[in-house]
Structure 1
Amino acid sequence: MRDPSNLAEYKKMYPVFKDIPDNEFTYFNGRWLISAKALKQLAYKHKNKELLKLIEKVESK
């Protein structure tokens, strides 16, 4: 199934993104992408240690 081009519909399909502001999304090549800031917010919210380590590693460069 293709991701919808409407952001509101996309957020309904994937509720994990409901708290991410719309301006943190970009529609590119038929897919919704989130910003690094949004990714970091999700990692902290869900306490994803592996993702937090990756973010820390990327930000330290």
Structure 2
Amino acid sequence: MELNRPSWRKSSRSNGGGDGNCVELAYIGPDAAVRDSKNTVGPRIALPGNGFRALVRHVRG
């Protein structure tokens, strides 16, 4: 793995039904990034660690 490249992993909650509704997550230091697994070169959302944790709490709630 290159040091400048994030290590992406598919969400365990992604839809396995074949319709492609999957997201991938990468930790970049204390921050996190999310992308669409169907479009790996497309847009990404990068959040500071506390912002990502707040997003996860909101989605779970």
Larger Rg: 1
TM above 0.5, yes or no, is no
Structure with higher strand content: 2
What is the TM-score of this pair, normalised by structure 2?
0.31
